[in-house]
């Protein structure tokens, strides 16, 4: 792969070992506002900490490895953007079958995987452990029992949602969907429940590659397909059945980080400072992207449960921990127009 722009990585999914983080640079995101590009960094370079911060963090605790699962099986039986069925004369359902209504918007039930659109229009599952290929059109899909797509940037996530007739969720939408009907800290309730979601596992990167001489490399290590192919770490969608809301949205905490549509700016950082949430400080710069929820090797480093937020990466960033899900506006009837009341009589 040729030169590419990377994000500051000092406090992300794999940033518990900041001495091995990927290089930082800017990348312009198509059809979205952001900072202008800075000089690209060759993919073969090692992974220094972003200049945005000199923070240190404790090293990984090595995990144990187990077997390698097989690749994704047959294509989804659920339509990518199904609109459901309705009896004649009845209004259509507010959300496609693979989404859940939350307020006035729809959110994917599960973390997304990718379907590749072939030249003849067929949709074929893309291997969840491989990077999207440049020039190929991908459509976002989600279903229970499918491995979600890691190794994906916000730019690519946004495009896949659009191909499915959806969009990336905003931070506010994502958190509302994560908290269910109330304002719980976790999808399943107010208090953390060990083992309910796929999180808190030992870090896999350092165990698999043993801190190679010269440091971890972005393509060879952070984006190695072997990481998410390793059994016992990435879980299939819905495998952790307790990690869901009462509305039926699953895996919003743990498993994979999930990109949202927000950009990092001064206002966002001020709001995070004002929240009564304990978070490890992260390097950031205006124009970075945002992902939420943590992944299988994090706990509450950047906030507990639905408050977990990472701001250290640019929209072009990707590694084995980055995934996504989509949202869309619900197809709801318009509220009836307000009827003007009778004018009040004037006082004499």
Report the alpha-carbon angle 237-243-247, nearest 5.
Answer: 90
The token pair that represents 44 in the structure block: 């073969």
Cα–Cα distances in Å, from 91 out to 87, 107, 131, 247, 337? Answer: 8, 20, 40, 21, 19
**Is the pLDDT at 46 greater than 60, yes or no?**
no
Q: What is the pLDDT of residue 347?
A: 66
Q: How many helices (H) and strands (E) does the chain have?
A: 5, 11
- Residue the block writes with tokens 């090797």: 297
Q: What is the pLDDT of residue 91?
A: 80
Q: What is the 3-state secondary structure (H, E, C) of 42-104?
A: CCCCECCCCCCCCCCCCCCCCCCCCCCCCCCCCCCCCCCCCCCCCCCCCCCCCCCCCEEEECC
User: Is 246:266 a contact under the CB 8 Å cutoff?
Assistant: no
Q: What is the share, in percent, of the chain residues with pLDDT greater than 90?
A: 66
Q: CATH for 1-27+94-330, among 3.40.50, 1.10.10, 3.30.420, 3.90.1580?
A: 3.90.1580
Distance CA 188, CA 95 (A): 23
**Is the pLDDT at 207 greater than 60, yes or no?**
yes
99-148 per-position pLDDT tens digit:
999 999 999 999 999 999 999 999 999 999 999 999 999 999 999 999 99
Residue 113's nearest CA partner among 88, 135, 145, 69 is 145
Cα–Cα distances in Å, from 11 out to 61, 76, 172, 260? Answer: 16, 35, 22, 17
Ramachandran area for residue 77 (φ above 0: left; ψ -120 to 50: alpha; else beta):
alpha
**Is the pLDDT at 8 greater than 80, yes or no?**
no
Q: What is the pLDDT of residue 88?
A: 66
Q: What is the pLDDT of residue 336?
A: 80
**Torsion sign over Cα 140, 40, 208, 9:** negative
Domain coordinates in residue numbering, the chain = 1-27+94-330
Q: What is the pLDDT of residue 218?
A: 95
Q: What is the pLDDT of residue 33?
A: 38
- Count of Cβ atoms closer than 10 Å to residue 24 Cβ: 27
- Residue the block writes with tokens 């020039």: 135
- Lowest-confidence range among 58-67, 161-170, 211-220? 58-67
The distance of Cα 298 from the centroid of its chain, to the nearest Å, equals: 14
23-42 per-position pLDDT tens digit:
443 334 544 433 333 333 33
- Lowest-confidence range among 87-91, 223-227, 282-286, 311-315? 87-91
Cα–Cα distances in Å, from 303 out to 76, 245, 252, 294? Answer: 34, 19, 14, 9
Quickly state the pLDDT bin for 87 (edges 50, 70, 90).
low
Cα–Cα distances in Å, from 67 out to 60, 128, 228? Answer: 21, 17, 11
Quickly state the pLDDT bin for 337 (edges 50, 70, 90).
confident
Distance CA 57, CA 286 (A): 23
Distance CA 181, CA 300 (A): 22
Across the range 187-204, mean pLDDT stands at 96
Q: What is the pLDDT of residue 123?
A: 97
User: Is 221:46 a contact under the CB 8 Å cutoff?
Assistant: no
Distance CA 41, CA 64 (A): 33
The token pair that represents 43 in the structure block: 């993919």
Query: What's phi and psi for 173, nearest 5 deg?
Result: -65, -45
User: What is the pairing mode between strands 105-108 and 99-102?
Assistant: antiparallel
């Amino acid at each position: 792969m040729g030169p590419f722009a990377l994000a500051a990585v000092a406090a992300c999914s794999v940033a518990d070992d900041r001495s091995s983080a990927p290089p930082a640079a800017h990348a312009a995101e198509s059809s979205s506002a952001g900072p202008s590009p800075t000089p690209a960094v060759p993919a073969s370079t090692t992974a220094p900490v972003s200049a945005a911060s000199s923070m240190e963090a404790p090293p990984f605790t090595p995990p144990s490895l187990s077997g390698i699962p097989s690749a994704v099986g047959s294509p989804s039986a659920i339509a990518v953007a199904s609109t459901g069925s309705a009896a004649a004369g009845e209004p259509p359902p507010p959300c496609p079958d693979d989404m859940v209504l939350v307020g006035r918007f729809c959110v994917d039930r599960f973390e997304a995987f990718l379907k590749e659109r072939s030249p003849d229009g067929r949709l074929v599952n893309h291997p969840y452990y491989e990077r999207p290929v440049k020039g190929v059109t991908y459509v976002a899909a989600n279903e229970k029992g499918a491995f979600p797509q890691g190794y994906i940037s916000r730019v690519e996530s946004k495009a896949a949602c659009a191909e499915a007739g959806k969009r990336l969720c905003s931070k506010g939408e994502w958190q509302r969907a994560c908290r269910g009907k109330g304002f719980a800290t976790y999808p399943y309730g107010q208090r953390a429940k060990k083992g309910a979601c796929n999180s808190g596992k030992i870090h896999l990167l350092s165990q698999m590659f043993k801190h190679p001489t010269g440091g971890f490399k972005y393509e060879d290590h952070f984006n190695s397909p072997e990481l998410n192919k390793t059994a016992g770490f990435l879980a299939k969608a819905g495998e952790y059945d307790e990690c869901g809301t009462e509305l039926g949205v699953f895996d919003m905490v743990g498993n994979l980080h999930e990109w949202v549509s927000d950009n990092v700016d001064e206002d966002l950082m001020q709001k995070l400072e004002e929240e009564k949430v304990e978070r490890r400080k992260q390097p950031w710069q205006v124009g970075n992207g945002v992902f939420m929820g943590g992944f299988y090797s994090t706990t509450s480093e950047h906030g507990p449960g639905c408050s977990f937020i990472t701001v250290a990466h640019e929209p072009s960033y990707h590694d084995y921990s980055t995934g996504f899900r989509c949202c869309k506006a619900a197809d709801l009837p318009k509220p009836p127009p307000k009827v003007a009341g009778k004018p009040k009589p004037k006082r004499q």
